[in-house]
């Protein structure tokens, strides 16, 4: 079937009956129509965007003091100045001053954005802003109206009770009065500017099957309208969400879901089993692979690539790890929580049932909860709020609290189950998504997301792409038309290598370019994960190094690039590193009988972490409990190799 210029051929396995879902009216504001591109693949450009953002319409964001609306969030993302309520800035950044509004502007505009407010009782909390509303007068409304972390815990507990519990009628009525889904759809369409700024109708399905356990998904629609969201109150099982997605496609709307914060999933996101406890079977693997082609690998709540425990031979694995939040109270389950291990587990499952359920490309995002999506380290002050460093940077007690030197105003400190509240120093700066697409519109960018021609960065505008093939010339990157040749003779990231010619090992061509306003590049690496019997192995290869460095054949590692960060100013001198790194790399360990997956990681030279920027701005000591500098990075979506079934070993 053909929908608005996009051919949709995906068929999904749906187990069991699918519930009926309510169709909302198409908003009066319609975006300009886009058309199928006639551009060739080598004309694709890198676009940067946000696929995970919250506003006042999310229950937790409202509890934290957020008043920024979806409409304002889109305007801020595309580079306009918005006026944030001073009350929000006072609560979230501890910044108080004259006036009712504070001007906020992003340092540089994004190309695309999806506001993904929590779907559970969407917008209900906004009814508490009207003291005369029925929700404000209800018992639960009076309890929640105080805001703060107590309201967050209380509302969160209500939202994760299947069916909504005894408070469901009040919450449902408040959500209906807020008309939240139409607010979201209208804001996305009103701010869509094809060719300049792309918006997506979207929401977050907020499944939390235990205290602090994240199995959330961001649901992204390729349309100017969509049915009412399927929520975690309806079901907290991903399999049921996938049935909803299948029903949406039957209505002529393409859609996908993106798991995030797998690092906080307690091992459940990439478990060996399905929600009912049975081992993954072929139907589950196929359905998941079709519905969830992407995974969020980094955001403010840490990196979900890997950890030193899971990847002990990876010298750069210890990067922005946040699963230790409750260590000492509740030990985190790392197995099943990280993307690199998921790539290995996917190969194992595929060898058993014939389908890889974890065949995912990567995206990055913020998960910021005050509507102001930022991605620069100096525009962040911990927790999950973005800011304009010129007008909203915390000072005094607010800065000390953000740096772990004092307690935040209203902070509870301990969760209801006795766990300590999050350490502010463990929060990361926001990440972003890069896509290689022909044009900046919904059709082109959504198509790039579906085919997984994506990359994620920790907020920097590194542009990176990778191709795999059997006939690449080792010197091909010296040609001006190398990208055209790479598409013609190979496959881009997010794809599968074709069958291996006899006696051939694959070559991968990789190029990374620095952020135009950022730090130089340290190195580019290719990470290989391959099947070994009923297990997997991994190895990191340095394929391009700046400064003429070489890999030591004895250790298999290269010398550190150096560090030019001035810890009195937070500035980095680009006197080391490279502006561009390129490589054509042949896998020296290739076995044509062994399934494998390859993805790239690119590191910048060291730069100041957000904690360092904030400490310097406030003339405070740089916290010793957090690294003073970090190496910002980018990850590409993988390229998979699957040998013919008859040739697979074991």
pLDDT at 315 over 50: yes
Q: Are 151 and 124 contacting, i.e. CB atoms less than 8 angstroms apart?
A: no
Taking only the tens place, the pLDDT of each residue in 283-295 is 999 999 999 999 9
Per-residue model confidence (pLDDT) at position 419: 52
Per-residue model confidence (pLDDT) at position 516: 97
pLDDT at 403 over 50: yes
Taking only the tens place, the pLDDT of each residue in 184-215 is 999 999 999 999 999 999 999 999 887 678 88
CA distances from 376 to 373, 454, 645 (A): 10, 20, 46
Q: Are 634 and 601 contacting, i.e. CB atoms less than 8 angstroms apart?
A: yes
**Residue ranges in 145-256 assigned as alpha helix (H):** 148-159, 168-178, 180-190, 238-250
Residue 114 is encoded by which pair of tokens? Answer: 């999806």
Per-residue model confidence (pLDDT) at position 19: 33
Q: How far apart are CA 281 and CA 199, in angstroms?
A: 36
* Residues 6+ away with beta carbon under 8 Å from 106: 76, 77, 79, 372, 373, 374, 379, 388
Mean pLDDT for all residues in the chain: 89
Q: Are 241 and 230 contacting, i.e. CB atoms less than 8 angstroms apart?
A: yes
Q: Are 306 and 314 contacting, i.e. CB atoms less than 8 angstroms apart?
A: yes
* Residues 6+ away with beta carbon under 8 Å from 324: 332, 426
Residues 138-145 have a mean pLDDT of: 88
Task: Determine the length of the chain.
Answer: 650
DSSP-assigned letters across all residues of 548-576: G--B-TTTS-B------B-TTT--B-TTS
* Residues 6+ away with beta carbon under 8 Å from 504: 470
147: confidence class by pLDDT, cuts 50, 70, 90: confident
**What radius of gyration, in Å, describes the C-alpha atoms of the chain?**
24
Per-residue model confidence (pLDDT) at position 458: 98
* Residues 6+ away with beta carbon under 8 Å from 232: 119, 120, 159, 160, 205, 206, 207, 208
Intra-chain end-to-end CA distance of the chain, in Å: 41
Ramachandran angles phi, psi of 216, nearest 5°: -70, 155
Residues 542-554 have a mean pLDDT of: 96
Q: Are 509 and 476 contacting, i.e. CB atoms less than 8 angstroms apart?
A: yes
Sign of the CA dihedral with 209 first, then 214, 215, and 219 last = positive
Taking only the tens place, the pLDDT of each residue in 17-49 is 333 333 333 333 344 445 567 899 999 999 999
Q: How far apart are CA 149 and CA 154, in angstroms?
A: 8
pLDDT at 338 over 50: yes
Taking only the tens place, the pLDDT of each residue in 94-119 is 888 778 999 999 999 999 999 999 99
Give percent above pLDDT 70 in the chain. Answer: 88
166: confidence class by pLDDT, cuts 50, 70, 90: low
Q: What is the 3-state secondary structure of 605-616?
A: CCEECHHHHHHH
Give percent above pLDDT 90 in the chain. Answer: 77
Q: What is the 3-state secondary structure of 339-380?
A: HHHHHHHHHHHHHHHCCCCCCCEEEECCCECCCCCCCCHHHE
Per-residue model confidence (pLDDT) at position 4: 29
Per-residue model confidence (pLDDT) at position 384: 84
What is the pTM assigned to this prediction? 0.91
Q: How far apart are CA 178 and CA 182, in angstroms?
A: 9
Residues 332-359 have a mean pLDDT of: 95
Taking only the tens place, the pLDDT of each residue in 557-613 is 999 999 999 999 999 999 999 999 999 999 999 999 999 999 999 999 999 999 999
Residues 240-260 have a mean pLDDT of: 98
Residues 361-389 have a mean pLDDT of: 95
Of 485, 458, 499, 465, the residue nearest 609 (C-alpha): 458
Q: Are 402 and 390 contacting, i.e. CB atoms less than 8 angstroms apart?
A: no
């Amino acid at each position: 079937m053909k929908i608005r210029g996009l051919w949709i051929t995906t068929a999904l396995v749906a187990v069991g009956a699918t519930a009926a879902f309510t169709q909302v009216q198409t908003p009066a504001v319609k975006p300009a129509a886009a058309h199928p591109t006639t551009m060739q693949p080598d004309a694709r450009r890198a676009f940067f965007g946000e696929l995970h953002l919250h506003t006042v319409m999310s229950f937790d964001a409202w509890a934290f003091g957020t008043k920024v609306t979806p409409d304002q969030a889109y305007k801020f993302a595309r580079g306009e100045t918005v006026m944030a309520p001073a009350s929000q800035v006072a609560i979230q950044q501890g910044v108080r001053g004259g006036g009712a509004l504070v001007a906020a502007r992003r340092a540089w505009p994004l190309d695309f954005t999806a506001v993904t407010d929590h779907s559970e009782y969407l917008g209900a909390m906004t009814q508490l802003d009207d003291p005369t509303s029925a929700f404000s007068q209800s018992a639960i409304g009076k309890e929640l109206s105080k805001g703060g972390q107590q309201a967050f815990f209380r509302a969160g507990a209500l939202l994760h009770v299947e069916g909504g519990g005894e408070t469901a009628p009040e919450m449902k009525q408040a959500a209906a009065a807020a008309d939240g889904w139409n607010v979201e759809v209208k804001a996305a369409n009103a701010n869509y500017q094809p060719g300049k700024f792309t918006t997506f109708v979207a929401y977050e399905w907020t499944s939390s099957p235990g205290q602090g356990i994240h199995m959330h998904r961001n649901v992204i629609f390729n349309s100017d309208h969509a049915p009412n969201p399927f929520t975690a109150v309806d079901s907290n099982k991903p399999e049921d969400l996938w049935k909803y997605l299948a029903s949406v496609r039957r209505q002529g709307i393409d859609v996908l879901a993106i798991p995030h914060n797998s690092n906080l999933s307690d091992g459940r996101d990439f478990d060996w089993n399905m929600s009912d406890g049975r081992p993954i079977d072929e139907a589950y693997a196929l359905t998941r692979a079709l519905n969830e082609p992407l995974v969020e690998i980094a955001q403010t709540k840490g990196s979900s690539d890997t950890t030193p425990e899971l990847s002990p031979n990876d010298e750069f694995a210890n990067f922005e790890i946040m699963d230790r939040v409750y260590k000492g109270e509740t030990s985190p389950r790392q197995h099943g929580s990280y993307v690199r291990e998921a790539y290995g587990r996917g190969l194992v499952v595929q060898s058993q049932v014939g389908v890889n359920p974890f065949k995912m490309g990567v995206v990055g995002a913020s998960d910021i909860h005050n509507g102001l999506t930022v991605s620069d380290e100096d525009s962040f002050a911990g927790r999950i709020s973005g800011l304009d460093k010129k007008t909203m940077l915390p000072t005094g007690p607010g800065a000390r609290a953000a740096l772990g030197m004092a307690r935040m105003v209203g902070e509870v400190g301990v969760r209801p189950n006795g766990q300590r509240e999050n350490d502010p120093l463990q929060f990361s700066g926001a990440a972003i998504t890069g896509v290689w697409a022909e044009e900046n519109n919904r059709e082109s960018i959504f198509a790039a997301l579906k085919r997984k021609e994506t990359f994620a960065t920790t907020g920097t505008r590194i542009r990176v792409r990778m191709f795999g093939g059997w006939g690449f010339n080792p010197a091909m990157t010296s040609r001006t038309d190398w990208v055209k040749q790479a598409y013609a003779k190979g496959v881009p990231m997010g794809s599968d290598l074709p069958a291996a010619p006899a006696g051939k090992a694959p070559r991968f061509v990789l190029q990374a370019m620095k952020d135009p306003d950022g730090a130089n590049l340290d190195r580019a690496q290719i990470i290989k994960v391959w099947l070994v019997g009923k297990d997997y192995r991994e190895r990191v290869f340095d394929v391009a190094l700046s400064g003429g460095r070489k890999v030591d054949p004895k250790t298999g590692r290269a010398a550190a690039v150096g560090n030019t960060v001035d810890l009195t100013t937070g500035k980095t001198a680009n006197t080391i590193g490279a502006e561009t790194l390129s490589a054509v790399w042949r896998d020296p360990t290739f076995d044509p009988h062994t399934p494998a997956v390859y993805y790239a990681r690119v590191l910048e030279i060291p730069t100041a972490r957000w904690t360092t920027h904030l400490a310097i701005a406030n003339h405070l000591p740089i916290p010793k409990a957090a690294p003073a500098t970090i190496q910002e990075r980018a990850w590409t979506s993988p390229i998979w190799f699957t040998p013919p079934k008859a040739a697979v070993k074991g």
